[in-house]
Structure 1
Amino acid sequence: MDWKQLLSTKRRRESTAANRRYRNTDLRSEFEKDYHRIIGSASFRRLQDKTQVFPLDKSDFIRTRLTHSLEVSSFAKSLGQNIGENILEYRRDPGFTPRMKEDICHILQCAGLIHDIGNPPFGHFGEIAIREWFQRNLQVLTFHGTPISEVLKPCMAEDFYHFEGNAQALRLVNKLHFLVDENGMNLTYALLGTIIKYPVSSLEVDRDSGDIRTQKMGYYLADREIYEEIERETGTDGARHPLAFILEAADDIAYKTADIEDAFVKGFVSYAKLLKELQALEEPEGGFHAAEKLEEYYRRGREKGVSDPEEYAVKNWIVRVQGFLISCATYGFTSNYREIMNGTYRHDLFYRTFAQGLMDLLGDLAYREVFTSETIYRMEVKEAVILNDLMDQFMTAAIKYDDPDSALNSIDRRMVYFISNNYKNAYHYHARGKNEVEKLYLRILLVTDYICGMTDSYAKRLYQELKAMI
């Protein structure tokens, strides 16, 4: 892979001749234009009311999917600056230019904003609830008397069994912003390539491969043509785009440190608990010595006379850790540069760095103390009830919708009416010329498209209205 092709500024819809005359007055790069398209989109705004960890939390401190995305964007840009400067300084690639470094920073800044834009309401548990709904129901629901699991092609059914927010993000930005035309946000191929963390179809998912690129599905069958265009234009040839490694590292830094900070504020993890966990961590020679840093900030807080030295210590420690992790991810990319550029690197950027043990500990601590707590379990059970009911009602109607051999009853018609015209227009455009099985597959996607576009509050409110609870 080479950077000139990887940083492709092409879009599915190129500027028309009429618009070209105005280019001289617009000094933005193509990637800066991507940034403004994202910021102005309704899907990006909806992230302010989507869960990161704590659904519908009343605290204005706790992170939402929007604030998380802004943090990822910031970390990703910082990593791009560090890595780009390293490539230039050590002349790792003779074709790499200062302009490319600047472009990388803009691409990563944009990618951080949209990396979670396809996630359904209620965080990652929402993804699990939708996947499990399909696993329970595709064998039960019928189409013209035959179980849908038998009607759909294997690749279609597997798309639903492996339902993924990452694949939904690619779909959303390319097809579901049906405003100017069918090309959605019409983002650059370089940016689209960066957000594809898993460049495999649902039939190629292999969690036991040891290769990070096959751990999840990266695109739906319905979007394979778009994926292949991105692959061809950026020259990735089935490998991860190098910037996808950087985006993933930024995401890992953001959520693993933020989860601990939010857990501390919510009372799930105390200063003493965090210190004890860090003291048990085996630090490599020359490593960060995380426990000592935490204690150092606690002593500093006491010396300053702050009202809560434990809070002072944890929050300042988080900032210090984030800087350390950025350095380690930079090293992880630059020390494996050739493998990454050859498409043969199989791990994340923290693998075998000084940060690997600390990253594992932070993830494990959040899982034990937060994600498996009674509080979170109670919320997730409620969320599952909401999503399961919405899937039941909308899917029953969608299966019959646009099928000449099926009749919608009065409730079905109203359920279809509720679905955004934007999504229905996109469905009808992409259903042209398709056979009945392909249309059925697209109608099932129509439901997941609509539900994934919901905010937490809207999903809860719609559920209550449909249940005549308000």
Structure 2
Amino acid sequence: MTNRMSWKNLLSQESKSRRGRNKSINNNDLRTEFEKDYHRILISASFRRLQDKTQVFPLDKNDFVRTRLTHSIEVSSFAKSIAQSISNRLINDKIDEEFTQEDAGFISDILASAGLLHDIGNPPFGHFGEDTIRSWFNEKLDEITIENPVTNNMQKLSEILTPQMCEDFKNFEGNAQAIRLVSKLHFLIDENGMNLTYALLNTLIKYPGSSLEINKKSGDIKDKKMGYYFAEKDLFDSIIEETGTLNKKTGKISRHPLTFLLEAADDIAYSTADIEDGFKKDYITYEDLAKIVEPLKNEENPSLCCYQKLVYYKERAIEKNYEKPEMYAVQRWIIFAQGYMINSAVSSFINNYESIMHGEYKYDLFEETNSKELVKRLKGLAAKKIYRSFAIIKMEITAHNIISFFLEHFMNSVLYYDTPFNEKYLKGVDKRFLNIISDNYMHIYRYYTEKYIKNNEGESEEKLFAYKLYLRLLLVTDYICGMTDTYAKTLYQELTGII
């Protein structure tokens, strides 16, 4: 086994600009650094924008249906509950003598914040937006050519950018965008963004590897996707070193233990919420839910049988003469199912504790529990009845058209920006699209361009040009990801002349 991770390091309160700082400067502020993280998130514009970003149903007028904001609040609540239960087990059962009561408060605060942030990097229209960005770059990086001022030749973007830069866009990921957003794009006071603690940032990194290290066949959940962009490599290195998830002897990088809990809370929230929202919108019936949970048995505790619980809640509603017994049954069962899954996640974390702390655990927390099949069946039902429905498919196509339009035109506007060929190529409508990008994003591009040049004196002109081009492409994806669903739709209609 690898070296065991330590909570002393995992719960690091340091951050990029807080490192080594005297934390007692303001004696009137009794908050911990993790509590400060929470407050920074709540007052941020990016968090507020989640109220107008898709969870499942884009641009839905029904205020019952969840948005990314309400989903994130639910994930935050589940994550904190899981943290409290695990802390209780670790301390009362004396599972880890190193883990203290103070640590218990810390992990609750960290996971509450991580729940609020976990989807903050997603573009408009949810996963539809992510898929569109990935597919667009997979097609265009080998198709678009520009004149390289260093070689004076026309070259494909994929020939100018490094392999990792290309893979960053081909594997575009909301999780990596979240790290970029909170660390750089909130450029209000200084270049440190929200200036969050390393412990929180590492909890958010579900996949602690670069776009060149993705290996979906490895069998290890942490290798499924990328966790950071090349642009944030220095920050990532600081995070894993400070929190101790980097094994300096072997070079192996482990998942932060709290990441497993955040992931479980997310699975609980969306696997149950999608069913409830789908039922409310008549995509799913009581019979649909009963059919998929009926085969599930709980030999260890028959009283926790999912099907029996669902039937019981309906019978109880009928006995009490409720107007809509099936609605009561489904909504009451959702609460039961959430508690059922929380208990599974807690038990799994405790049962696999040493493996997790050694960075050896490769699965999600439901893998060896009774909840595994339940989560799978709930997701399957949502996929069949909701995600493949005609209404959702229509919105998926709409989202694809809107984001593809933005990518096409904003990319054309930045290709030659800040190059010797700016006047030669940047004309007409392309120039006007560049002027639409907010001043804040343009400032961020200029700041990090100048910083890179300053920190890499003596670098070849070819590499400098590639990095600046890379930052300009990120400028576009940053701007698009910052849009809400309504803003994206409205801007698209305005720019295409649709009234």
TM-score (norm 1): 0.98
Query: Aligned-pair distance for 1:364?
Result: 0.9
Query: Aligned-pair distance for 1:23?
Result: 2.1
- Aligned with residue 16 of structure 2, among 12, 15, 34: 12
| 1:23 alignment partner AA | N
Between the aligned residues of both structures, percent identity stands at: 53
| Structure 1 contact 284–354 (Cα < 8 Å) conserved | no
What does residue range 223-238 of structure 1 map to in structure 2 within 5 Å?
223-237=232-246, 238=253
Tell me whether 416-425 or 267-276 shows the greater mean CA deviation: 416-425
Aligned-partner Cα distance in 2 for 1:192–1:21: 23
Q: Equivalent residue for 1:419?
A: 437
Q: Equivalent residue for 1:322?
A: 338
Aligned-partner Cα distance in 2 for 1:301–1:20: 55
Is residue 468 of structure 2 the alignment partner of residue 464 of structure 1? Answer: no
| 1:227 alignment partner AA | F
Unaligned runs of 5+ in 1: none
> Which whole-Å deviations, capped at 9, do the CAs of 1:126-185 have from their partners, x for residues lacking one?
100110011111111112121111111111100111000000000000000011111100
* Cα 1:21/1:341, change in 2 over 3 Å: closer
What does residue range 136-151 of structure 1 map to in structure 2 within 5 Å?
136-144=139-147, 145-151=154-160
| Structure 2 contact 14–20 (Cα < 8 Å) conserved | no
Query: Aligned-pair distance for 1:59?
Result: 0.1
Is residue 141 of structure 2 the alignment partner of residue 154 of structure 1? Answer: no
Paired residue secondary structure (1:146): strand
Aligned-partner Cα distance in 2 for 1:126–1:107: 28
Paired residue secondary structure (1:143): strand
Q: Equivalent residue for 1:301?
A: 317
Query: Aligned-pair distance for 1:467?
Result: 0.4
Q: Equivalent residue for 2:461?
A: none
Query: Aligned-pair distance for 1:406?
Result: 3.2
Aligned-partner Cα distance in 2 for 1:338–1:16: 31
Is residue 51 of structure 2 the alignment partner of residue 48 of structure 1? Answer: yes
> Which whole-Å deviations, capped at 9, do the CAs of 1:351-404 have from their partners, x for residues lacking one?
111111101111111111111122111110111000100110101101111112
Q: Equivalent residue for 1:28?
A: 31
| 1:361 alignment partner AA | R
Tell me whether 448-457 or 405-414 shows the greater mean CA deviation: 405-414
What does residue range 56-205 of structure 1 map to in structure 2 within 5 Å?
56-144=59-147, 145-205=154-214
Aligned-partner Cα distance in 2 for 1:339–1:275: 36
RMSD: 1.3
> Which whole-Å deviations, capped at 9, do the CAs of 1:234-262 have from their partners, x for residues lacking one?
00011100000000000000000000000
TM-score (norm 2): 0.92
- Aligned with residue 367 of structure 1, among 361, 366, 383: 383
> Which whole-Å deviations, capped at 9, do the CAs of 1:200-230 have from their partners, x for residues lacking one?
1000001111100001110001111111100
Aligned-partner Cα distance in 2 for 1:215–1:21: 41
Q: Equivalent residue for 1:448?
A: 477
Q: Equivalent residue for 2:351?
A: 335
Tell me whether 349-358 or 40-49 shows the greater mean CA deviation: 349-358
Aligned-partner Cα distance in 2 for 1:2–1:442: 36
| Structure 1 contact 302–309 (Cα < 8 Å) conserved | yes
Is residue 273 of structure 2 the alignment partner of residue 270 of structure 1? Answer: no
Aligned-partner Cα distance in 2 for 1:38–1:130: 26
Unaligned runs of 5+ in 2: 148-153, 247-252, 454-463
Paired residue secondary structure (2:415): helix
Tell me the matched-pair count: 469
Query: Aligned-pair distance for 1:410?
Result: 2.9
Aligned-partner Cα distance in 2 for 1:424–1:122: 24
Aligned-partner Cα distance in 1 for 2:94–2:297: 35
| Structure 2 contact 297–305 (Cα < 8 Å) conserved | no
| 2:294 alignment partner AA | Q
